[in-house]
């Protein structure tokens, strides 16, 4: 079975909503392996508005002693008024609810159905992958979260602890400034390592989710092997986007700072946040495009811009909702352990007043454990939603579902032949 999806950039740029390779373009065949059975050819015709379709062929006669309403028929369902509904239960024999015309259910070889996705299906696909492929997903996020939290704990204990002691003892200005510089340097270093670990985890999770869409499992070693060639480019993409946001903020805020004008500074801030948010969503699909299409940094940015075009608000809403949900989950896990640690090991009210409660070993350890658990759960959900949004947009615009079906071994998916 060919389990490699067609992630490569398509040769043409179809218009929005246009899906190439429509079923009418394809020859009839023996029927898809994963698709539902289609009604026999010529059995149904399109009804006139407000009028039920008459039967074109007489239905098979029931066996002696059985009425129409009891005859099980070829497909296991009872014969309806104008024909047999088969296994789907529709009144006129076509898939859908009683008395309704609909489309056959989409094939679902993996965690999502191969058709345009709704919000619930995207969130469910991200969670389902983490649940069913936990042997591959959780070790990656657990290792990254543990390394980052251990380094963060040490930084908070020593660098931030020295700041608290310096402020309490009233040391001279030079030593205080030196402690602040050291602490800030340590925090920047931890932030850099956290970003690096997040990049590695995102790259590997992207490969795992791309396989989960096809219903195949990817091991940690396989995910690393597939993602490693693109890691430097992914790092460059992340760095470019971060520097771009910083540069944009500096350009918009600098006039107010230079002129020492609070009003001008406020105007710059008001313009900056919506603009950065717009760019963030516009390029939010660049990471999966870079990894799965094996493209360059600037091509990935262009691909994301093209895929997001016309659906910015939808992607913004799904991304925002995902971040709110994961933020609530993280808070539920982290804050109780942090409060208990500070109350039990932080020296009580005195420790809370002088700021030493947050740097006590017990408080730091419990807070770190909570953060490790939260990141292990949250990180794959965030990465999974981004990957599934990318897949969804390519299904909507480029008919990627047909390519994925072929890669999953579903023969003749999307044909009209019986």
SS (H, E, C) 126-175: HHHHHHHCHHHHHHHHHHHHHHHHHHHHHHHHHHHHHHHHHHHHCCCHHH
CA distance 397 to 386: 17
Report how far residue 170's alpha carbon sits from residue 146's, in angstroms, rounded to the nearest whole number: 35
CA triple 349-350-353, angle to 5 deg = 85
For residue 204, give the nearest of 220, 190, 193, 186 by alpha carbon: 220
Q: Check residues 406 and 416 and name the one with the higher pLDDT.
A: 406
Neighbour-count burial for 193-204, b at 16+ CB within 10 Å, e otherwise: ebebbbbbbbbb
Convert the pLDDT of each residue in 290-347 to its tens digit.
999 999 999 999 999 999 999 999 999 999 999 999 999 999 999 999 888 887 776 6
Residue of 202, 261, 194 lying closest to 237 (CA atoms): 202
Residues 6+ apart with CB under 8 A from 182: 159, 162
- In the predicted structure, residue 68 carries a pLDDT above the cut 70: no
Tally the C-alpha atoms within 13 A of residue 11's C-alpha that lie toward its C-beta: 0
Q: Which helix (H) or strand (E) holds 314?
A: helix 312-345
Q: Please state the three-class secondary structure of 93-136 as a single string.
A: CCCCCCCCCCCCCCCCCCCCCCCCCCHHHHHHHHHHHHHHCHHH
Q: What is the mean pLDDT of the chain?
A: 76
pTM beyond 0.95, yes or no: no
The answer to whether the beta carbons of residues 390 and 289 sit under 8 Å apart is: yes
The predicted-structure confidence for 164-221, as pLDDT tens digits, reads as follows: 544 454 556 766 667 677 777 777 777 888 888 899 999 999 999 999 999 998 899 9
* 266 CB neighbour count, 10 Å cutoff: 12
Per-residue pLDDT tens for 248-303? Answer: 999 999 998 998 888 999 999 999 999 999 999 999 999 999 999 999 999 999 99
Residue 28 pLDDT: 37
């Amino acid at each position: 079975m060919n389990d490699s999806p067609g992630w490569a950039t398509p040769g043409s740029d179809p218009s929005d909503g246009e899906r190439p390779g429509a079923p009418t373009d394809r020859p009839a065949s023996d029927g898809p392996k994963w698709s539902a059975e289609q009604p026999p050819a010529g059995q149904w015709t399109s009804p006139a508005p407000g009028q039920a379709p008459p039967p074109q062929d007489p239905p098979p006669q029931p066996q002696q002693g059985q009425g129409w309403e009891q005859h099980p028929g070829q497909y296991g369902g009872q014969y309806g008024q104008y024909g047999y509904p088969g296994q789907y239960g529709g009144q006129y024999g076509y898939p859908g609810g009683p008395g309704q015309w609909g489309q056959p259910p989409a094939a679902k070889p993996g965690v999502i159905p191969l058709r345009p996705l709704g919000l619930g299906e995207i969130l469910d696909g991200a969670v389902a992958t983490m649940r069913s492929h936990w042997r591959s997903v959780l070790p990656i996020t657990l290792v990254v979260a543990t390394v980052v939290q251990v380094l963060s704990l040490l930084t908070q204990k020593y660098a931030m602890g020295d700041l608290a002691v310096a402020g309490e003892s009233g040391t001279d200005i030079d030593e205080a400034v030196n402690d602040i510089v050291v602490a800030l340097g340590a925090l920047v270093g931890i932030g850099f390592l956290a970003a690096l670990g997040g990049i590695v985890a995102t790259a590997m999770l992207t490969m795992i989710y791309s396989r989960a869409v096809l219903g195949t499992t990817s091991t940690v070693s396989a995910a690393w092997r597939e993602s490693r060639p693109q890691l430097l480019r992914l790092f460059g993409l992340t760095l470019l986007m971060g520097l771009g946001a910083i540069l944009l903020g500096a350009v918009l805020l600098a006039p107010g700072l230079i002129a020492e004008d609070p009003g001008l500074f406020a105007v710059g801030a008001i313009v900056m946040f919506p603009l950065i948010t717009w760019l963030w969503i516009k390029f939010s699909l660049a990471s999966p495009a870079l990894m799965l299409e094996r493209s360059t940094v600037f091509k990935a940015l262009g691909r994301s811009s093209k895929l997001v075009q016309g659906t910015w608000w939808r992607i913004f809403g799904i991304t925002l909702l995902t971040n709110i949900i994961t933020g609530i989950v993280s808070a539920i896990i982290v804050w109780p352990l942090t409060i208990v640690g500070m109350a039990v090991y932080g020296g009580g009210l005195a420790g809370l007043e002088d700021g030493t409660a947050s740097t006590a070993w017990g408080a730091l350890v419990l807070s770190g454990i909570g953060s490790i658990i939260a990141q292990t759960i949250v990180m794959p959900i965030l990465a999974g939603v981004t990957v599934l949004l990318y897949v969804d947009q390519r299904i909507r615009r480029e008919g990627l579902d047909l390519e994925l079906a072929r890669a999953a071994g579903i023969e003749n998916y999307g044909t009209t032949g019986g």
